[in-house]
Amino acid sequence: MYTKSVAQLIEGLRGREFSSAELTRGYLDRIAALDSQYNSFISVDENAAMAAATAADERLASGDAAALTGIPIAHKDIFCTDGMRTSCGSRMLDNFVPPYDATVIQRFKTAGAVMLGKTNMDEFAMGSSNESSFYGPAYNPWDTKLVPGGSSGGSAAAVAGLLAPAATGTDTGGSIRQPAAFCGITGLKPTYGRVSRLGMVAFASSLDQAGPMAHSAEDCALLLNAMAGHDPLDSTSSNTATEDYCATLNNSLEGLRIGLPAEYFGEGLDSTTGECISGALRELEAQGATLVNVSLPHSALTIPTYYIIAPAEASTNLSRFDGVRYGYRCDDPVDLHDLYTRTRGQGFGDEVKRRILVGTYALSAGYYDAYYKKAQQVRRLIKQDFMDCFEQVDIIAGPTTPGPAFAVGAKTNDPVSMYLEDVYTLAVNLAGLPGMSVPAGFVDNKPVGLQLIGRHFDESRLLNVAHRFQQATDWHLRTPDAIARGVA
Amino acid sequence: MQWEPVIGLEVHLQLATQSKIFSGSPTTFGAEPNTQASAVDLAMPGMLPVLNEQAVSFAVQFGLGIGAEIGKRSIFDRKNYFYPDLPKGYQISQFEAPIVGKGSFEILMEDGSSRKIGITRAHLEEDAGKSLHEDFHGQSGIDLNRAGTPLLEIVSEPEIRNAAEAVAYLKALHSLVTYLGISDGNMAEGSMRCDVNISLRRVGTEELGTRAEIKNVNSFRFVEKAIRHEIERQADILDDGGRVVQETRLYDADRDETRPMRSKEVANDYRYFPEPDLLPVVIDDAYIEAIRSQLPELPADKRLRFTEQYGLNKYDANVLSDSRALADYFEAVVADCGDAKIAANWVQVELLGQLNRDERSIEQCPVSAADLGALISRILDKSISGKIAKQVFEAMWQGEGSADDIIAAKGLQQVSDSGALEVIVDEVLGANAAQVQQYLDADEAKRKKLVGFFVGQVMKLSKGQANPQMVNELLAKKLV
């Protein structure tokens, strides 16, 4: 049951092979039994989950089921959940129980999904290894000595460890795609504006985007169907019409032009990872796609540009955490200054503080033009690179990450080498494009992700390519041996 | 040494929208603390601003009202600073690309003269909440009802030269925005708050001196006093050869002085940058033209029309167009009675006098324009004299009914019946035989005086209701 895809679970529920209560109970039991190894969940409310499952079973019985009725899903702990703690991986919000649902949560409720719990993440989504979480690192189910990636590391580990059939994540610079790659699952970052940001704790407003994380492209399409759409309460959400993302999954790849940016296959790419990507590209070629060499000439500027813009926005987005209205407050403040400094000093972890400092600096009088303004100008050039490529090709492909998952603790003292993990994913956020990571092989039993990048609002095409690839390969169906033995 | 003050005003105008600028919370004044603060206003995690279109429309109306260029693509920025009544840790404002560009409007001085004052810009922003320092035993309370209330910050050019002009500027601005209906302009409730930038320079020089900013001066009177005080303070410093420090000062109305704010409160780098949660506000010509076509007649146009259409002098036109409600009232009275000059006189003297005495606004006037028009009509058709009319007006003010009801009930109708008047005249002449004899013996000059005496006696006897013209005619006929 736990190796079934969401699509299969929907069939199973409708065919009465099992009930949502049985399914949900099963996942909750697995979480209780196994999550001490992965630390993928921050909060689980078994009673609420079982109540939702029972209600779902009633809807199923009455023939009133919505698209995902009865399907258990894990949500990244960045989405506000009415009545359930939303920590964002931070001490700052350890005691925060929102009185409202994020639009994403609301949409999954409307679609009938059952929330299993809230997954671990880097603090305020700042990190690439899930090691900055106040709740401790999450661990990679393929090898618990490895990081699961981040910031949506808990969601990726939960899906890879078969503790949830699917999960939500958010991606500001690779936070869905990189952990998906490290954990051997499929993850989609939609076009900026495709999914509402309302109720999602903000990291960098112009880059943040929520998306699905699951075993397959088909499952991602099912989840995206539930998540996507205009939200009048998010001014940056798009009113471009949504599509049925499942409808075109099986389209032929005949004639598809795939661009391979030289900059994504050069120095810095692990050679075995590169071979996995080449293998995947050959498979797509075999299905009729054409590979075209392209260039993204401003790629070298991606990391510095991102690490100006994202911290700048973050530095002010996180100003609201001041100990005044909600969240962590230091003990016995003597005055306002003391309240601010100790609350924020104690409530935020090192990586968050580092980015607040960097961002504050970048926006300061006298530095704004040299840093933030310049970064925004370069951002337009980076976006233009992609637009130019999409004149020649339909999608862009390359590795999601330079190499596979690294060991827990290997990079915690070297922030810059950690930032380099996102070298292939950041530009997609800067350009607002949709991007996916699809399992494409293994390096020493560590998963490798193929990244696919599409035109704005062309999620259907990405899912179509990923699905056709997954019809011909089984990388996405692999399960870590220990886990496979456990569920066998 | 002669110093010339250079003054610029920044007015924070609260816009009269139903809901806040970025959330659906109501903006009603005076509600219980924190009852009008939503999750957005409280800056709860994940909450996002959504721009209130009405606030944009009001800002554009203001821009058109001062002949300004409207920003076709205006941008909201974050102004970052920490304060407990600023929930997000930043204020959403506009910095580089405001919605309203350069414009100007006319101000009127007490002596009836007028001049144009330039407006540098006006931009939209949200208000902060309020910190309450009393009643919390050493702690502070925070009321976020006001957080997110839409403000239009209107920045004048430094073209104001004295306190009287500053007050005239604020009055003209108040008149303009209430004409437009974009703000209630209520200074006591903080709908119009004023910061004053002021510096002195040697008379005849162009270069600007160092300025001080006086924050939150919130009545016409305080603006006048604060400016007078600050000019004196700076002049004293400069006369002594000292230098004015660029700083922010607070006006203390109780002590009638300005003093520096603590430096901690002003040493801010606001780290402005474009608000990524909001899209640029794109305004096209069709939108602007649609608003322009709906604009009401503005004070300056109305003043001009009043002089041309009704033949009013400039002073009367200024007074009567002070507020849209007063101007509308005046025009309704004219429409009813048909005589603009008498209507202007009655509205300015009797009506405004009574309103002042009762401390009421024109909106609270107990006598309708139609009723006042009817009263004036009775003067014009000679049913009553002007003097009696004041008596009738008094009764109308007390709610005793319409002019005609009161005239009838009190028997105040002017007596124009020559038979009835003759009886009274005869009675007066009979009772004052000595004066009649004096009249007959007197020369022209003395006679005039004595006629006045007889008329007075007739009026007295008739309780003021005798038609004076007819009384004169009768006297002339009988005194021979």
Unique residue bearing structure tokens 């109501």 = B26
Chain A residues inside the 8 Å CB shell of B278: 235-236
Give mean pLDDT, residues B51-80. Answer: 97
CB atoms within 10 A of CB B273: 25
**Residue B228: inside a domain, yes or no?**
no
Between positions 119 and 178 of B, the ones with CB within 8 A of A are: 140, 142
* pLDDT for position B262: 63
User: B75 and B118 share a domain?
Assistant: yes
**Residue A360: inside a domain, yes or no?**
yes
> Is A411 in the active site?
no
**Residue A238: inside a domain, yes or no?**
no
**Residue A152: inside a domain, yes or no?**
yes
Give mean pLDDT, residues B374-399. Answer: 90
Give mean pLDDT, residues B273-289. Answer: 97
Joined together, the tokens standing for residue B20 give 């806040």
Give mean pLDDT, residues B65-86. Answer: 96
> Is A175 in the active site?
yes
* pLDDT for position B133: 82
pLDDT exceeds 60 at position B265: no
Instruction: State CA A320 to chain mean position distance.
Output: 24
Count of pairs with CB atoms under 8 A, one residue in A, one in B: 96
* pLDDT for position B1: 58
Q: Are B247 and B34 in contact (CB under 8 A)?
A: no
Query: Do B273 and A312 count as a contact with CB atoms less than 8 A apart?
Result: yes
Tell me whether residue B443 is exposed, middle or buried, using C-beta atoms within 10 angstroms of its C-beta: 0 to 12, 13 to 18, 19 or more. Answer: exposed
pLDDT exceeds 50 at position B92: yes
A378 closest CA partner among A456, A295, A455, A304? A304
User: B387 and B359 share a domain?
Assistant: yes
pLDDT band at B264 (very low <50, low <70, confident <90, very high): very low
User: B321 and B196 share a domain?
Assistant: no
* pLDDT for position B185: 92
* pLDDT for position B267: 59
With a cut of 70, which residues of chain A have pLDDT below it? 488
Least-confidence region, from A292-306, B160-174, B236-250: B236-250
* pLDDT for position B381: 87
Chain B residues inside the 8 Å CB shell of A96: 45
B273 touches chain A (CB under 8 A): yes
pLDDT exceeds 90 at position B261: no
- Look up residue B329 and give its amino acid: Y
pLDDT exceeds 90 at position B431: no
Position with higher pLDDT, B440 vs B97? B97
Least-confidence region, from A39-43, B133-137, B221-225, B305-309: B133-137
* pLDDT for position B410: 82
Q: Give the number of residues written for chain A.
A: 488
Q: Are B219 and B188 in contact (CB under 8 A)?
A: yes
B46 touches chain A (CB under 8 A): yes
User: B405 and B424 share a domain?
Assistant: no
Tell me the C-alpha distance between B324 and A145, whole Å: 77
- Look up residue A24 and give its amino acid: T
**Residue B125: inside a domain, yes or no?**
yes
User: B402 and B457 share a domain?
Assistant: no
Angle at A32 between CA A31 and CA A37, to 5 degrees: 70
A307 closest CA partner among A387, A361, A268? A361
Of the ranges A81-85, B409-413, B433-437, which is most confident?
A: A81-85
Chain A residues inside the 8 Å CB shell of B46: 79-80, 98, 102, 197-202
pLDDT exceeds 50 at position B121: yes
> Is A145 in the active site?
no
How far A195 CA lies from chain B's nearest CA (Å)?
A: 14
**Residue B211: inside a domain, yes or no?**
no
3-state SS, residue B384 = coil
**Residue B219: inside a domain, yes or no?**
no
**Residue B225: inside a domain, yes or no?**
no
Of B410, B430, B445, the residue that ends a domain is B410
Q: Provide the domain count of chain A.
A: 1
Choice among A20, A87, A128, A151 that is catalytic: A151
Q: Provide the domain count of chain B.
A: 3
**Residue A407: inside a domain, yes or no?**
yes
Q: What is the dihedral of CA B153, B157, B159, B165, to 10 degrees?
A: -10
pLDDT band at B435 (very low <50, low <70, confident <90, very high): confident
State the SS3 of chain A.
Answer: CCCCCHHHHHHHHHCCCCCHHHHHHHHHHHHHHHHHHHCCEEEECHHHHHHHHHHHHHHHHCCCCCCCCCCEEEEECCECECCECCCCCCHHHCCCCCCCCCHHHHHHHHCCCEEEEEECCCHHHCCCCCCCCCCCCCCECCECCECCCCCCHHHHHHHHCCCCCEEEEECCCCCCHHHHHHHCCEEEECCCCCECCCCECCCCCCCCCEEEEECCHHHHHHHHHHHECCCCCCCCCCCCCCCCCCCCCCCCCCCCEEEEEHHHCCCCCCHHHHHHHHHHHHHHHHCCCEEEEECCCCHHHHHHHHHHHHHHHHHHHHHHCCCCCCCCCCCCCCCHHHHHHHHHHHHCCHHHHHHHHHHHHHHCCCCCHHHHHHHHHHHHHHHHHHHHHCCCCCEEEEECCCCCCCECCCCCCCHHHHHHHHCCCHHHHHHCCCEEEEEEEEECCEEEEEEEECCCCCHHHHHHHHHHHHHHCCHHHCCCHHHHHHHC
User: B195 and B49 share a domain?
Assistant: yes
Percent over 90 (pLDDT), chain B: 67
CB atoms within 10 A of CB B360: 12
**Residue A239: inside a domain, yes or no?**
no
- Average pLDDT of chain A? 97
User: B301 and B169 share a domain?
Assistant: no
Angle at A125 between CA A329 and CA A153, to 5 degrees: 120
Structural domain including B474 reads 418-478
B30 touches chain A (CB under 8 A): no
User: B329 and B422 share a domain?
Assistant: no
**Phi (first) and psi of residue B396, to 5 degrees:** -60, -40
* pLDDT for position B386: 85
* CATH code (residue A403): 3.90.1300.10
Structural domain including A473 reads 1-231+244-488
pLDDT exceeds 90 at position B413: no
B31 secondary structure, DSSP code: P
Tell me the C-alpha distance between A167 and A42, whole Å: 14
User: B359 and B440 share a domain?
Assistant: no
Q: Report the chain A residue with the minimal C-alpha distance to residue B42.
A: A325
User: B112 and B22 share a domain?
Assistant: yes
**Residue A237: inside a domain, yes or no?**
no
* pLDDT for position B334: 96
User: B32 and B141 share a domain?
Assistant: yes
User: B308 and B426 share a domain?
Assistant: no
pLDDT exceeds 80 at position B335: yes
Joined together, the tokens standing for residue B31 give 């509600």
Chain B residues inside the 8 Å CB shell of A363: 80, 271-273
Q: How many Å is the maximal CA-CA distance in chain B?
A: 102
- Nearest CB to B87 within list A80, A204, A325: A325
pLDDT exceeds 80 at position B414: no
Give the end-to-end CA distance of chain B in Å, rounded to a whole number. Answer: 75
* CATH code (residue B422): 1.10.10.410
Chain B residues inside the 8 Å CB shell of A197: 46, 48
CB atoms within 10 A of CB B133: 10
Unique residue bearing structure tokens 């510096």 = B199
Least-confidence region, from A479-483, B264-268, B269-273: B264-268
Q: Are A441 and A276 in contact (CB under 8 A)?
A: yes
Position with higher pLDDT, A484 vs B354? B354
